[in-house]
């Protein structure tokens, strides 16, 4: 610029410094009225744009956001964060959500589209083959909480599943529990296998072997949690504690315990995962693992924006820390 700085132009127009910078560098992801306002302010301040850079122009167009599940508190928080962050970067959103979308195959068509800048895929049911094909089509995308192991060159953002499960198990071991039942998620889900691995590792650190007879795998719903918990509590030597794949399954475990006349946590400890709204609506309130769901969405968009700007992305697999939240549903093991 000749006689004005980017900061001065931003102050004169009321837009962000980043937006002024995008206008100066010829990027296409700026609304036409905003671009005109910035150019008028530059002219009034006697400013001129620098010589065009040799860096490629970022991909333009909307971002495809796929979350083929009901947008409840868990998925809804992630998707809301993704959409809000994309709006901050002046990106329109094409939302593909709802359980019925699990029966479709939009990634095949997405690979051939040129009007879409990139994509954010939340727990995509598509396997490594479809994800690799999308990468080979040079469509920038980021996977949030991958359902299956992703190819090495596919950027992913997830929570520290193994560490979170290990912390829950260590918490229960510290309370004297030795027979700990696991209400795991579906076997084909990466989060389920990693959390089970964290549980097994924590037991091994305490000198204990995991008992497969105390493990159940089911969909993470209240009904399935109740069913799986009832099976474990009906064993001749039942567990004294249950750790569930999510808070909904833990709620089902509380109902199964009540049906058998067990008091929580005096007779049985129960722990969930996610720290959703359910966790503080139960009696007693759930001990659980808090996942930074909004942060997952923010980090995913941050990675995607860098990819759309043709910037080099070094760390392709980002793991976010989780936090154990101890409440009233866990207590000392019964004698």
* Three-state SS annotation for 270-295: EECCECCHHHHCCCCCCEEEECCHHH
In terms of DSSP bridges, do strands 141-144 and 118-122 run parallel, antiparallel, or are they unpaired?
parallel
- Do 275 and 247 meet the contact criterion of CB atoms below 8 Å apart? yes
* Sites in the chain below the pLDDT cut of 50: 1-2, 50-57
Q: What is the pLDDT of residue 1?
A: 40
Closest CA to 288 of 126, 164, 145, 139: 164
| Phi, psi for 144 (deg, rounded to 5) | -105, 125
Which sign does the torsion angle of CA 190, 222, 101, 87 carry?
negative
Complete domains list, the chain, with CATH: 1-57 (1.10.260.40), 63-159+293-318 (3.40.50.2300), 161-291 (3.40.50.2300)
pLDDT for the residue numbered 58: 54
pLDDT of residue 210: 94
Sign of the four-CA dihedral 114, 115, 118, 120: negative
- The residue whose two tokens read 């009034």 is 44
**pTM of this structure:** 0.78
Question: In degrees rounded to 5, what are phi and psi of residue 24?
Answer: -60, -35
Q: What pLDDT, on a 0 to 100 scale, did the predictor assign at position 72?
A: 84
Are β-strands 269-271 and 241-244 bridged in parallel, bridged antiparallel, or unpaired?
parallel
- Report the Cα 40 to chain-centroid distance in Å: 41
Q: How deeply is 129 buried, as exposed, middle or buried, from its count of CB atoms within 10 A (0-12, 13-18, 19+)?
A: exposed
Residue with structure tokens 């994800």? 131
pLDDT of residue 311: 82
Q: How far is CA 214 from CA 62, 133, 228, 288, in A?
A: 47, 39, 10, 19
Phi (first) and psi of residue 66, to 5 degrees:
-110, 125
Q: Which structure tokens are listed for 187?
A: 């076997």
> What torsion, rounded to 10 degrees, do the Cα atoms 304, 310, 315, 317 define?
40
């Amino acid at each position: 610029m000749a006689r004005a700085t980017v900061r001065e132009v931003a102050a004169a127009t009321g837009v962000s410094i980043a937006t002024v910078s995008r206008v100066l560098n010829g990027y296409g992801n700026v609304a036409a009225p905003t671009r005109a306002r910035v150019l008028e302010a530059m002219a009034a301040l006697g400013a001129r744009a620098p010589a065009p850079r040799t860096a490629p122009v970022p991909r333009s167009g909307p971002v495809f956001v796929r979350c083929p599940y009901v947008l409840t508190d868990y998925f809804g928080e992630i998707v809301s964060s993704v959409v809000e962050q994309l709006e901050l970067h002046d990106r329109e959103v094409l939302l593909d959500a709802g359980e019925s979308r699990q029966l479709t195959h939009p990634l095949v068509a997405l690979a051939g589209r040129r009007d879409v800048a990139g994509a954010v895929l939340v727990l995509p049911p598509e396997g490594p083959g479809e994800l690799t094909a999308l990468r080979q089509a040079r469509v920038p995308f980021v996977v949030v909480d991958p359902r299956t192991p992703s190819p090495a060159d596919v950027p992913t953002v997830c929570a520290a599943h193994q560490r979170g499960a290990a912390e829950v198990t260590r918490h229960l071991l510290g309370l004297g529990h030795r027979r700990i039942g696991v209400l795991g998620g579906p076997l084909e889900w990466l989060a389920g296998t990693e959390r089970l691995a964290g549980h097994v590792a924590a037991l091994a650190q305490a000198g204990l072997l995991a008992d497969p007879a105390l493990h159940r795998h089911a969909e993470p719903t209240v009904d399935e949690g109740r069913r799986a918990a009832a099976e474990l509590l009906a064993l001749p030597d039942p567990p004294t504690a249950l750790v569930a794949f999510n808070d909904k399954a833990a709620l089902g475990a509380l109902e199964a315990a009540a049906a058998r006349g067990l008091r929580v946590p005096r007779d049985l400890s129960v722990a969930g995962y996610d720290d959703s709204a359910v966790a503080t609506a139960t009696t007693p309130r759930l001990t659980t693992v808090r996942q930074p769901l909004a942060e997952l969405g923010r980090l995913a968009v941050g990675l995607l924006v860098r990819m759309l700007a043709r910037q080099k992305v070094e760390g392709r697999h980002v793991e976010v820390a989780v936090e154990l939240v101890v409440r009233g549903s866990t207590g000392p093991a019964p004698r």
